[in-house]
Structure formats: C-alpha cells, structure tokens
C-alpha cells in the first residue's frame, strides 16, 4: 500500500483560477506592508510621547519660584491679592484673549508658588478650606474676565471712541468723570 502524503508534507497546491502575482501587485503589497509599519511607528511614537508627558507632569516636582513665603496665612494673603491684581489687570478693551493673558500674567509669581503654599497649609483644615475658596475665586474671576471681555470690551471701545476726552482708559485710573449738565444748560420740556 502506498503511503498517502500528509497535508503538511504535501507541496502547496495552486489555487484554481489564481494567477501568479505580477510585479505591480508585488509592489503594491510591499507598499501596503511599509505603510502599515510606518503607521504603527507613528502611532507608537505618539503614544510614547503622550505617556511620557503625563508621567512627567504627574510625578515631576517643579521647583517653586522661592518667594520667601514662610507661613500659610502669608501665602493665602499673597494668593488672594494676586487674584485681585489679576482682576484689575484683565479689565480693559483689548478683547478676550488679551484679557486672559493679562489676567494670567498678573497672577504671577504668586500662583507659581501655590504648591508650596498648600504644603504650608496642609496641617490646618481651615487653611486648606481657605485655599480652596481662593482657588474657586480665581477660576470664577478668570471666567468673569473672559465673559466681561467678550461682552463689555466692544461697549468700552465705543464709549472711548465717542467721548475720548473723558472716557477712562482703564478701571481706576482716576480719569475725570463725564461732564454733567448744569442748571443753565438743561432744557425744559413743556409738559403735555
């Protein structure tokens, strides 16, 4: 009896109706293989870069600017003053982006030292509650500065254009008040 070849030992049988690959088909297959490998390399690089940034932000301790804050109350006072300073700096007629830039710049350098201040306040729950309230105020003021810039800046610019001699250029600059009509300049309307 003759041995029948096992399926593994048998030579590959051609698929009926299949033609051998042309050089163009081989080039396309090679191109797909290269494109797939390139895609995997780019996706892997993006994943590694993003993951490394997350790890650095989560675990790296950034040095504080060393403002010389030694007590929790001093730090809380500096943070609250920085929020007030930022609120005043953001009020202007430059637009939303400029208002936010002015706001965030005015918070520095005090808010750069926020983590150090939190470390100083960690022993007192009431101090941590005060820090939380100041942080909430900061975010509310930043949102208000954004909204105010978007809604009020066009109106402020219009007032300045209509009456540049008395319109204040910024809040609290001590610009003179608008002229008030005197008794002699008032015109009486006849009553109906």
d(CA 128, CA 188): 61
The DSSP 8-state label assigned to residue 118 in this structure reads H
pLDDT of residue 6: 59
Alpha carbons within 13 angstroms on the beta-carbon side of residue 116 total 19
pLDDT of residue 65: 55
pLDDT of residue 188: 46
Closest alpha carbon to 139 in 114, 156, 157, 121: 114
pLDDT of residue 36: 96
pTM over 0.85? The answer is: no
d(CA 52, CA 168): 49
Output the CA angle 161-162-165, nearest 5 degrees. Answer: 85
Q: Counting runs of H as helices and runs of E as strands, what totals does the chain give?
A: 5, 0
Residue-wise DSSP of 31-50: HHHHHHHHHHHHHHHHHHHH
**C-alpha separations of 31 from 24, 25, 138 in Å:** 10, 10, 55
Residue segments in the chain with a per-residue pLDDT below the cut of 50: 64, 167, 170-192
d(CA 149, CA 155): 10
d(CA 116, CA 55): 21
The DSSP 8-state label assigned to residue 57 in this structure reads H
């Amino acid at each position: 009896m003759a041995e029948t070849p096992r399926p593994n030992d048998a030579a590959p049988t051609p698929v009926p109706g299949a033609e051998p690959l042309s050089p163009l088909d081989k080039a396309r297959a090679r191109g797909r293989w290269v494109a797939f490998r390139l895609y995997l390399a780019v996706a892997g690089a993006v994943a590694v870069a993003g993951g490394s940034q997350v790890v650095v932000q989560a675990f790296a301790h950034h040095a504080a600017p060393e403002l010389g804050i030694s007590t929790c109350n001093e730090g809380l006072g500096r943070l609250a003053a920085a929020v007030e300073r930022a609120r005043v700096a953001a009020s202007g007629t430059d637009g939303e982006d400029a208002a936010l830039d002015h706001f965030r710049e005015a918070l520095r350098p005090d808010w750069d030292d926020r983590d150090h201040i939190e470390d100083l306040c960690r022993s007192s729950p009431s101090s941590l509650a005060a820090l939380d309230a100041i942080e909430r105020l900061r975010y509310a003021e930043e949102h208000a500065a954004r909204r105010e810039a978007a809604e009020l800046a066009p109106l402020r610019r219009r007032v300045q254009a209509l009456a540049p001699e008395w319109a204040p250029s910024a809040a609290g600059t001590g610009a003179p008040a608008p002229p008030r009509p005197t008794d002699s300049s008032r015109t009486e309307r006849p009553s109906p």
